[in-house]
Chain A
Amino acid sequence: MLMSTLVILRFTGIFAAYTGITVLLPEIMFRRILKGRRLSEQFLMSYTFGNFYIINIVFALQLLHISNFFTLTAVTVLMSILIGLKVNRIPLRRKLAKGKKIFCRLSDGSLGIRSAVSKFGEWMKSGCRYFGKFFCRYIVKKPIQFVFLIFICGALLWIYGRQIILTYGYRASDIPVHLSWINQMSRGKIFSKGVYPFGFHCMIYYLHTVFGVDTYVILCEFFFVQVIYLHAVLLVMLKLLCKTKYLPYIGVFAYIVGDFWSGQTYSRFYSTLPQEYGMIFVIPSVYFLIRFFQIHKENLTDRETRRILQCFAMAFSLTLAIHFYGTMIAGLCCIGIAMGFCFRFVKKEYFCRIMVTGILSVVLAVLPMAIAFAGGTPLQGSLGWGMSVINGSQNEESDADNTTQNNKVQVTSGNGKVTEIDVSKLPSAKKGETTVVVEQKKPSLGDRMRTVTDKIKVISDKIKTIPNKIPKAVRTMSIRIRNIVVPVDWQKMGTAVMTAYAGLLLLGLVFCAFQKTEYGAVLMSVGFCMLILTVLLCAGPFGLPTLMDAARCSIYYAYLLPVAGVLITDGLLYLVLMPKVLRICRNILSLGLAAVLLVVLSQNDLIKEPGFSSGYVTNGAITCLTNIIRDNEDETWTIVSANDETQMGLDHGWHYETITFLRKLEHMKEDTKVIIPTENVYFFIEKIPLDYSVSYADSGQSISKKGASQTLPNVGGIGMYQGEKRWIVMSRMYYWAQAFMKKYPNEMKVYYEDDQFICYRIPQNMYHQYNFAIDYGYNQVETEEQEAEQ
């Protein structure tokens, strides 16, 4: 079987499993509630609940240390049945009685097999009829939208989907870390390296445990599932907010294929990472909040309001449970929406509800982490950093790094003379030893008053200068948008984007004036959201705390930019063709615009062509690992490789670090032994070593004797497997393999070889294993005499 076929089958399985549990299962569970809603809203609600449901099941079972295939499946199934029965108001007793009756009739023969089969046939027929109706309603009756949908799917497959077939490995250096954490969950240790938002890990763990797909496989292929849902939620939100039919499709299409986006805005989409997974739930958070504010005051007490708020709480808590960055963006967007809907937000009925929901969503997300923290698990490093950002200490540190004014302290000498010294210039300060013992004079009340007055004066001066600074700030924003997000040749791109935001605000006001308050508020909300995000993007140049570096911020920014673009176009069309009777014209015009945009994109070479490669794992390595897992019984093999297979094959076999192997051979004595006690040992060697994210002058060179004759890298961590060091390690390993093959030509065989990668296999006699310590020409072998001399 071709590896690409296997990859496609695996991906299909993962996608089906994920869709089944996050979309279809909630759809069935909540079919009474979802009935009558637009398909897009149904999808958003189901998807949000589905993810929330699964992640929290995993959290609960992991914290109870009873998480495994059986408990996860049992809880999922039982809870789904209970919730389904409750929500759909299905009387359990009556259902059970009915089931019992059918069973009794079957057992006593009063219900024949033929009748049972015919009943089952009827049930199947009604199912088919339902799907037929669905097909007719959403596909046959909406052919243009269906064609657009196909275009979007095709674009996704072309831009992102091809990656899984062309590059089997993962594409981000931190995936092994996440893999390790998920593997630890399989061993009953959630938060193994400290408390961290584990929502993403919970979902991957669930897919691995319940559906039996290897974690490394999911981490290599799940990114495309993420990408599909990332774009799906964007599309459905646009469909729900727009007044025209086709603009949302073209907006999403342009976002997928547009070559005008900066590379870093989508490069991470090729990796299965928590940030990108958490990003999916920003849109549902935004939508449900808008949806809440669209509810009239008199309807606030309805169940519908509660459901919308519940959905908002779930979506927002998911962003927090998965990744903090998503929460930051969702939070800032919430502020923007509150500004857009300020006329409702300030009202007590709305304000109280939204604040309580917000707090509840935070509690929901933080609770599992808090429980673990209370149980003695420390915070994971990056979470500590996040906390410091929230506390502001990190900014203080960064401020301290940028300026020296805080380093000056006043020192009172013995004669009472006060002098100012810069402590940063002291030797101890340079070493990071911060204990400069100086006695600072305590300020008197008068001094304090003077300081406060000075500060007020400074602030009032700054406020006075704001009107003068606005044009400069807008210019900075425009430049930054063009440089970081949409780096096109057109100089005024940034200005155009900023103008669009202003247009959104203005258009929103216009719609409010036309009594289309809710739609107007949506436009203003989007405008405010984008302006706030622009400020976040420009935090550095504005001297504001850098909550998120510009590169990461640009990912979210680019993702939300199509929303602004689509909505302003939609708003303009709606403004021109507002009456209901002109709806068809509006749609035709939107279709025309879509067509024009398509032509523009294709004619001007604006369709992106992403590169396909993984700088971390070769296709050969993944192919070998897949075959090794298939060919051997678990725990009967070891892979000697440069570190990544440690976690990849953890559930199946053993791993030995290449560097450990080589170091043991480096100063070999006659009695040195390197024994690997498994039936089969595989050696992974890259003939053209990967850079592993650190390039050097001769990057891409082949292993050689020159490389093998270099000193073995003596650095810790991943360092010895990066850049030139990896070349040395691989060269050494290759020549070891050649030397070993000379000794065991019939035992050590090439298991796999391509232009870039080679894998050797050596089967072993388990009673009498090989000593892999040999003189391979590049290590030092000390004889007994030399040892004695020393």
Chain B
Amino acid sequence: MVSKRKFFSIATMMFVLFFLFQFSMVLRDSKNTYDINSSLTEKKADGRNRWTPSDNVTGADSSVVFIGNENGDMGTAISRWCTYAKRKLISCKSVSTYKADDKNLPEMMILESEKYADGDNLTTLETLEKKGVIIVFGCLENAKNIQNNKALMKFLGIQKVVAEETHLAGVKLFEGLLLGGEVTYNTSKDKEEKKRQDLELDVPWYQVGSGTKTYMVGLLDEKTGKNVENEDFPTIIWRNGIDYGSVFAVVGDYMKGSTALGLLDGMWAEALQYTIYPIVNAQNLSMVNFPVFADENNTEMLKLYSQSVTGIARDIMWPALISVVEKSDMKMTCFIQPQADYTDDIEPKSGNLEFYLKQMKEQSAEAGISLEYQKLDKAEDKVTKDTEFFENEKINYRFGAAFAKEKDLKGILKDTDSGLLGDVGTLVCDYTENQPVVSYYSDSVTLQTVTSDGMNYAYSDDIRMRSIQTALGYTNVMLDMYDIFWPQEKTDRWEVMQKRFSSNLLTYWKNFRDFDSTTLSESNARIRTFLNLAYSQSREDNTITLQTSEAGSWFILRTHGEEIDEIDGGSQTEIEADAYLICAEDTTVKIRLKEQELYYDTRKNCVERGKR
């Protein structure tokens, strides 16, 4: 028998336990300001202030000369890089048309191809190189021409053209040029891995000589490469050092897209004692068309998952996504798709939105709006019907980001002035080379293109991702859920996609965790700062002085063995060896580099160490 006294004690204890558990939950729920978008910043038409070469802050001589077709792929990529690197671009059709001015020499000259370096042009290039201009051969196209031109071979540091074309088993990118460390893109025997190999594998075989430094080599298959020493493997990207100057050469199309951005910054860093350049510093994860609220395609979903569409999204996909996001330390931006088919009678369910917004708040995620749809009677209906849905949900959440296909961007822009899209300050579109990675789409709206598809990730995507990370400290990984809810192929299943997505995200992005995770609205603010800023830098002994027009801007400092000792006016994080992430908290940042000292030293009044 339980005595009354004991019964009372047990009951009290149970009540206390119940209270303790429930109290925290109730408190958390009541404090969750889920209908406020805390990532959102006020929309401003600051695109007018974006940096242009005429701002001339980086000095009169900070120019880059491009020799080739300025409207071609490489020309476009270099033009974008110049905008990001805050350098003036001078485009010329040939070397001879460029009028060299000794007082105002360019910092870098990029040749679209080696054909621009024939005859007297080569002499001009040699002269410029001796004067300290970094020469970049963007693409070595014709091995035969190079082989026949000994002077050019010497200038490029090519010892021998082993073959005009050879087939590679993969490529290896060494650390130093791009951030993220060494990586090998070798064609694996594994079927899934084999699908990733999309690099250019038929290339000329250049064997480089002494005085060169190799950044990327081709890998030969086991039979061909058996008797070939590593140093003799086909070289793809290298630098030839001549009298403290640098000549870079690239084999293949790496400079004909966004991949060029990081490569050029890497070349800059390799050629100079140190470099400091602005970046965005934003790592985004875009969940496109998720969550959904209409039980469309329910028959198919019930067949595949034994659950309704909204049930799958809420009970299966959402927990899995949270798990991946927590492991990857990234912030999500979920682009809500209230419904896909606006012509059917299936309307979005009410009640789920609040749940998702609360969950997102707890995960520091942001809700955006997806402007994608499957069927629609009139284009305007989409925004109208979605507005209706949100009004019915009685939620005043202000959407700062919207997703649309690149082809639909122009049509959407007019809707961003008022209504549901009135607060949208940034548009996100799928990966395209037609648009810059980050840019102003209008004076008040920025455009952030997706840099990688989290599901289908090939080797070229990885090089591009590393390159963009190097140049901008930016990534925008997209996971489009449309195919899950509207499956076309066997692989359009959540379990398959989740596996691929999580493995890609946790593998390829792990080296970039020092960059900040942001939602797209946060990223939008940083992009505006980045695109508007002008900066200059100088070095005196071991102190680098950085001056920027925008406080709160981010930079990368790359050195060669030098470490940061102290920083004033900002903060720093070491990303990897010789690469530092700098936050300019003030408009003037002073970075003091450590003096090269030995642990055990004898010298008290030794020769001036700084002037070695």
10 smallest A-B Cβ distances: which pairs? Answer: A743-B241, A771-B210, A746-B560, A750-B612, A743-B211, A3-B602, A627-B598, A768-B214, A774-B210, A3-B600
A754 B606 Cβ-Cβ under 8 A:
yes
Q: Does A437 contact B (CB under 8 A)?
A: no
- Chain A residues lying within 8 Å of B182, measured Cβ to Cβ, are 767
* B602 touching A771, Cβ below 8 Å: no
Q: Taking each of B176, B242, B270, B603, which has the highest tally of chain A beta carbons within 10 Å of its own beta carbon? A: B603
Scan residues 702-716 of chain A and give those whose CB is less than 8 A from a CB of chain B.
Answer: none
Interface-located stretch among A598-606, A668-676, A689-697: A668-676
Contact of B600 among A627, A675, A774 (CB under 8 A): A627
Question: Which among B176, B231, B244, B607 is the interface contact of A769 at CB below 8 angstroms?
Answer: B231
Contact A626 B244 (CB under 8 A): no
Q: Assess the B243–A753 pair: CB atoms within 8 A.
A: no
The number of inter-chain residue pairs (CB within 8 angstroms) is 99
CA of A763 to CA of B241 in the docked complex: distance in angstroms? 16
Contacts A623-B602, A626-B600, A670-B209 known; A755 to B241 CB distance under 8 Å? Answer: no
Q: Are A767 and B172 in contact (CB under 8 A)?
A: yes
Q: B273 at interface (Cβ–Cβ under 8 A)?
A: yes
Cross-chain contact B211 with A620 (CB below 8 angstroms): no
A771/B209 in contact, CB under 8 A: yes
A673 to B230 CA separation, bound complex (whole angstroms): 13
Knowing A743-B241, A753-B606, A774-B210, say if A623 contacts B601 (CB, 8 Å): yes
Q: Is A202 in the interface zone, CB < 8 Å from B?
A: no
In chain A, what residue has the closest Cβ to B562? A749
Could you list 4 further interchain pairs (A-B, Cβ under 8 angstroms) beyond the known A168-B602, A751-B598, A765-B176?
A671-B160, A742-B241, A742-B243, A768-B214
- B242–A743 touching, CB < 8 Å: yes
Q: How close is A98's CB to chain B, nearest CB, in angstroms?
A: 48
Residue A770 CB within 8 A of the other chain: yes
Question: Chain A, 626-668, contact with B by CB distance < 8 Å: what is the 0/1 string?
Answer: 1100110000000000000000000000000000000000000
User: Which of A748-790 touch B at CB < 8 Å?
Assistant: 749-755, 763, 765, 767-774
Residues of chain A within 8 A of B210, CB atoms compared: 673, 743, 770-774
Cβ-based interface call for B159 (8 A):
yes
Residue of A nearest to B231 (CB): A768
A6 vs B600: C-alpha distance when bound (angstroms): 8
Asked if B569 lies at the interface with its beta carbon under 8 angstroms from chain A, I say no
The interface residues of chain B lying within 8 Å CB-to-CB of A765 are 174-176, 214
The answer to whether A767 and B209 touch across the interface, beta carbons within 8 angstroms, is no
Q: Shortest Cβ distance from A496 into chain B, in angstroms?
A: 46
Does A745 belong to the interface (CB within 8 Å)?
Answer: yes
| CB-CB contacts below 8 Å: B168-214 with A | 172, 174-176, 182, 209-211, 213-214
Interface core residue of B242, B600, B603 (most chain A CB under 10 Å): B600
* Distance A620 CA – B182 CA, assembled complex (angstroms): 35
Q: How many residues of A contact B (CB 8 A)?
A: 41
- Kindly identify, within residues 578 to 625 of chain A, every residue whose CB is under 8 Å from any CB belonging to chain B: 619-620, 623-624
Q: At the interface, yes or no: B599 with Cβ under 8 Å from chain A?
A: yes
Would you call B135 an interface residue if the criterion is a C-beta within 8 Å of the partner chain's C-beta atoms? no
Contact yes or no, A754 B602, CB < 8 A: yes
- Given contacts A743-B211, A773-B210, whether A619 and B599 have CB atoms under 8 Å apart is no
Closest CB in chain B relative to A396 CB, distance in Å: 52
- Whole-angstrom distance between the alpha carbons of A675 and B230 in the complex? 11
- Measured CB to CB, the residues of A under 8 A from B are 1-4, 6, 168, 619-620, 623-624, 626-627, 630-631, 670-671, 673, 675, 742-747, 749-755, 763, 765, 767-774
Chain B residues, CB < 8 A from A743: 210-211, 241-242
Are the CB atoms of B607 and A754 closer together than 8 Å? Answer: yes
Contacts A671-B159, A767-B172, A767-B230 hold; do A4 and B602 have CB atoms under 8 A apart?
Answer: yes
B468 at the interface (CB under 8 A from A): no
Per-residue contact bits, chain B 556-598, to A (CB 8 Å; 1 contact, 0 not): 0000110000000000000000000000000000000000101
B155 to chain A minimum Cβ distance, whole angstroms, is: 13
Q: Which residues of A contact B599 (CB under 8 A)?
A: 1, 627, 630-631
Cα–Cα distance between A751 and B601 once the two chains are bound (Å):
11
Query: What sequence of 0s and 1s flags, for each residue 130-159 of chain B, a beta carbon within 8 Å of any chain A beta carbon?
Result: 000000000000000000000000000001
The one of B230, B241, B273, B601 that contacts A768, using a Cβ cutoff of 8 Å:
B230
Given A743-B242, A753-B606, A771 contacting B231 (CB threshold 8 A): yes
Distance in Å from the Cβ of B610 to the closest Cβ of chain A? 11
* A620 touching B174 in the complex, CB below 8 Å, given contacts A768-B231, A771-B231: no
Bitwise, B204-227 to A at CB < 8 A (1) or not (0) is 000001110110010000000000
A750 and B596 CA atoms in complex are apart in Å by: 9
Q: Which residues of B contact A624 (CB under 8 A)?
A: 598
10 A-B residue pairs with CB within 8 Å = A4-B602, A742-B242, A742-B244, A743-B211, A744-B241, A745-B273, A746-B560, A749-B596, A750-B596, A770-B210
Known A-B contacts A742-B243, A765-B214, A771-B209; the reply to A753 vs B607 at CB < 8 A is yes
Give the distance to chain A from B210, nearest Cβ to Cβ, in Å: 4
Shortest distance from the beta carbon of B551 to any chain A beta carbon, whole Å: 31
Report the Cα distance A631→B602, complex, angstroms: 16
In angstroms, how far is the closest chain B Cβ from the Cβ of A261?
Answer: 31
Interfacial chain A residues near B602, Cβ < 8 Å: 2-4, 168, 619-620, 623, 754
Q: Verify if B31 is at the interface (C-beta below 8 Å from A).
A: no
A630 to B244, CA, bound (A): 31
In the assembled complex, which residues on chain A have CB atoms less than 8 Å from the CB atom of B241? 742-745
Residues of A within 8 A of B209 (CB): 670, 771
When distances are taken between beta carbons in the complex, the residues of chain A under 8 Å from B217 are: 767-768
Separation of A754 and B602 alpha carbons in the complex (Å): 9
**CA of A495 to CA of B209 in the docked complex: distance in angstroms?**
75
Residues on B with beta carbons closer than 8 Å to the beta carbon of A746? 270-273, 560
- Does B490 touch A at the CB level, under 8 Å? no
Q: B414: CB under 8 A from chain A?
A: no
Q: Which residues of A contact B607 (CB under 8 A)?
A: 753-755
Contacts of A774 in B (CB 8 A): 210-211
Q: B4: CB under 8 A from chain A?
A: no
Q: Using Cβ atoms and an 8 Å threshold, which residues of chain A touch B44?
A: none
Q: Does B5 contact A (CB under 8 A)?
A: no
Which residues on the A side are within 8 Å of B601 (C-beta)? 1-3, 623
Answer yes or no: B48 CB below 8 A from chain A CBs: no
Contact flag A747-B560 (CB < 8 Å), given A754-B606, A765-B174: yes
Bound-state CA distance A631–B599 (Å) is 9
Residue among A3, A627, A749, A772 making CB contact with B561, cutoff 8 Å: A749
Cβ of A668 to closest chain B Cβ, rounded Å: 9
Chain B proximity of A766: nearest CB distance (Å): 9
Q: Does B609 contact A (CB under 8 A)?
A: yes
- Name the residue in B175, B561, B601 with the highest tally of chain A Cβ atoms < 10 Å from its Cβ: B601
| Minimum distance in angstroms from B247 CB to a CB of chain A | 11
Minimum CB–CB distance from B541 to chain A (whole Å) comes to: 16
CB nearest to B559 among chain A residues: A746
Q: Which residue of B lies closest to A624 (CB)?
A: B598
Report the nearest A residue to B210, measured CB to CB: A771
Q: With CB as the reference atom, state the residue of chain A lying closest to B235.
A: A768
Q: In whole Å, how far is A742's beta carbon from the nearest beta carbon of chain B?
A: 5
A673 contacts across to B, CB distance below 8 A: 210, 231
A673 to B231, CA, bound (A): 10
Q: In the assembly, what is the distance between CA of A767 and CA of B270, in Å?
A: 18
- A631 to nearest B CB, angstroms? 7
Q: A752 to B213, Cβ gap below 8 A? A: no
Residue of B182, B217, B273, B599 with most chain A CB atoms under a 10 A cut-off: B599
Find chain B residues with CB under 8 A from A1 CB.
Answer: 599-601
Report the separation of the CA atoms of residues A74 and B606 in the bound assembly, to the nearest whole angstrom. Answer: 47
Complex Cα–Cα for A772 and B213 (A): 12
**Minimum CB–CB distance for B306 against chain A, Å:** 51
Could you say which of B211, B600, B603 contacts A754, with CB atoms under 8 Å apart?
B603
Residue of A nearest to B211 (CB): A743
> Assuming A675-B231, A747-B560, is B612 touching A2 (CB within 8 A)?
no
Which residue of A168, A631, A745, A772 contacts B244 across the interface (Cβ within 8 Å)?
A745
Write out the residue numbers on chain A whose beta carbons fall within 8 Å of the beta carbon of B230.
767-769
Interface centre among B176, B244, B561, B602 (most CB of A within 10 A): B602
